[in-house]
Amino acid sequence: MDNNLQIPQRILMGPGPSNVHPRVLEAMSRPMIGHLDPVFLEIMDENMKLLRHIFGTKNRLTLPISATGSAGMEATLCNLIEPDDDILICVNGVFGMRMSDIVDRCGGKLHTVEAPWGRIIDPQSVADKLKDVKPKLIAIVHAETSTGILQPLTEIAELAKAHDTLLVVDCVTSLCGTAVNLDELGIDAAYSGTQKCMSCPPGLSPVSFSDRAINTIHNRRTKVPSWYLDMGMISQYWGDDRAYHHTAPISMNYALNESLKIVCEEGLEARYNRHSLHSQALAEGLSTLGIERIAQEGFRTPMLTSVSVPNDVDEATVRSQLLHNYNIEIGGGLGAFKGKAWRIGLMGETCRKENVISLLTALGEILPKKSTNEAIQTAESVYNTN
């Protein structure tokens, strides 16, 4: 093993993780203390308070699961689903498919409403499904990372309320990049990840459960199938009792605390506007290079732009050139979009004008017969009019 391994400074413009603020990295280097130390308990309390703010909720059970966003997905679903429960999952990409898999593993009766990749779930399709099925919960992805679709939630939330059904929302990519507002919409459970628009390293998954969701967990007929992800026990560790459950990742909670403070210093609306502005500049610059968006118009995520790879271009070769020659990482397509799409992230600290210009410059130099100057001028025109 090379004892002098050098880690390069990358511009992380893939689907996650994003670049991390130096203050967050510094926070991770602070002295180690015990997971029940009074100082750490104060940090836990502050993290819960800050998470409530960014989720737009007063939910008392709002905390970071000590694992990645996928564990947040599993924790949310496995605590609410019991064997033979009817569960409705909305599927229009990879992460709806993952939720469906978890339903099967929990023994639930899976029902789906599907849409083509790159298009939103039509609320009318959900309404039609609810005529035949009375599910315990409806689950949907807010920002589908595999396609770049931003799903409107208002009509889905109204349907869930009208049918007295729990609503679960995947906010892994959307949180801190666009409004979530759990209480305003009446969302019963949500989960996210720290490594995207929060610009914290991967390793924690913020979750939030409404009182109705908590009551559902407390009134289960069967044990939660995962001991580690049992929210009943985890909530006792994060609650007033501080009952030992697991050794929390101390340094990651330092990082989360600092990253949330940075978010609040900027302000949520300012942060949302920043993501929208740079996303628009990037998309228009890419269009000048002949690279077009594939997500449904009017429903595109501001923090992740999915684009079609030009027919005469080898997508993997371009990604490799970007990484090794320009230190820029972008993502390839997943599932139905594998080999056909690039996923370009502008999340949190990565969401900067200089990164937009750097990527457009690099692509203009790599792609045949493309004008870097024209692409940059197009992006600059967006900045000049906003």
Residue 205: CATH number of its domain: 3.40.640.10
Tokens of 255: 């990082």
3-class state of residue 127 by DSSP: helix
Pairing state between β 86-91 and 109-114:
parallel
First to last CA, the chain: 50
| pLDDT greater than 80 at residue 369 | no
Residues 190 and 176 in one domain: yes
273 and 244 co-located in one domain = no
Residue 31 and residue 87 in one domain: yes
**In the predicted model, is pLDDT for residue 90 greater than 70?**
yes
Calculate the alpha carbon distances from 174 to 179, 296, 303, 372 in Å: 8, 17, 7, 30
Residue 9 resides in a domain = no
Is 4 a member of any domain?
A: no
Residue 286 structure tokens:
């890419």
List beta partners, residue 175.
Answer: 178
Pick from 249, 264, 279: which residue ends a domain? 264
pLDDT of residue 5: 86
Query: Above 80 in pLDDT, residue 124?
Result: yes
Sign of CA dihedral 47, 52, 58, 60: negative
The tokens for 156 are 């889905």
Question: Residue 372's pLDDT is what?
Answer: 84
In a domain, 319, yes or no: yes
Alpha carbon distance 95, 241 (integer Å): 35
Q: Does 191 reside within a domain?
A: yes
In a domain, 14, yes or no: no
> Is the same domain home to 214 and 285?
no
pLDDT at residue 2 in the model: 64
Same domain for 203 and 346? no
Last-in-domain residue among 231, 264, 297: 264
- Judged by DSSP in three states, 147 sits in coil
Give CA–CA dist 112/110, Å, rounded.
Answer: 7
Q: Is residue 247 domain-shared with residue 313, that is, in the same domain?
A: no
Q: What is the mean pLDDT of residues 34-49?
A: 96
DSSP 8-state assignment for residue 186: T
Residue 245 is predicted with a pLDDT of 93
Mean pLDDT of the chain: 96
- Angle at CA 337, nearest 5°, toward 335 and 340? 140
- Same-domain check for residues 170 and 276: no
143 DSSP 8-state letter: E
CA distance 70 to 94: 12
| Residue 10 maps to a domain | no
Q: How far apart are CA 129 and CA 22, in angstroms?
A: 48
pLDDT at 130 over 90: yes
Indicate whether 69 pLDDT > 60. Answer: yes
- Looking at the 3D structure of the chain, how many domains does it have? 2
> Across the chain, which distance is largest between two alpha carbons, in Å?
65
Residue-range definition of the domain harbouring residue 142? 22-264
* Residue 186 zone, left/alpha/beta (φ > 0; ψ -120 to 50; rest): left
| Nearest CA-CA partner of 89 in 105, 69, 67 | 105
CATH of the domain at 276: 3.90.1150.10
Tokens 């790159």 belong to which residue? 118
Judge residue 39's burial from the number of C-beta atoms within 10 Å of its C-beta, 0-12 exposed, 13-18 middle, 19 or more buried: exposed
Mean pLDDT, residues 193-214: 98
Whether the link from the prior residue into 368 is cis, omega within 30° of 0, is no
Residue 370 has pLDDT above 90, yes or no: no
Query: Among the three residues 212, 236, 264, which one is the final residue of a domain in this structure?
Result: 264
- pTM for the predicted model, two decimal places: 0.96
Sheet strands (E) in 260-313: 304-308
Answer yes or no: do 250 and 328 share one domain: no
Measured distance CA(71)–CA(75) in Å, rounded: 6
> Can you give the pLDDT at residue 31?
98
The pLDDT of residue 3 is above 80: no
- What pLDDT is recorded for position 386? 83
Q: pLDDT value at position 98?
A: 98
pLDDT at residue number 212? 98
Are residues 277 and 254 part of one domain?
A: no
pLDDT, tens digit (0-9, with 9 covering 90-100), for 172-191 = 999 999 999 999 999 999 99
Over residues 33-55, mean pLDDT: 97
167 & 191 share domain:
yes
Alpha-carbon gap, residue 131 to 27, rounded angstroms: 51
- Phi first, then psi: what are they for 303, rounded to 5°? -100, -10
The single-letter DSSP state of residue 297 is: T
291 in the same domain as 254: no
Q: Please check whether residue 2 lies inside any domain of the structure.
A: no
pLDDT, position 371:
78
**pLDDT beyond 90 at 1:** no
Each as own residue / partner, the long-range contacts of residues 268-276 (CB below 8 Å, 24 or more positions apart, any chain) are 268/53, 268/54, 268/176, 268/179, 271/176, 271/177, 271/197, 272/177, 272/178, 272/179, 272/302, 274/351, 275/177, 275/178, 275/197, 275/302, 275/303, 275/346, 275/347, 275/351, 276/178, 276/302
The encoded tokens of residue 93 equal: 């990409």
% the chain with pLDDT above 70 = 99
Q: Are residues 183 and 62 in the same domain?
A: yes
With a cut of 90, say whether residue 241 has pLDDT above it: no
Domain assignment present for 1:
no
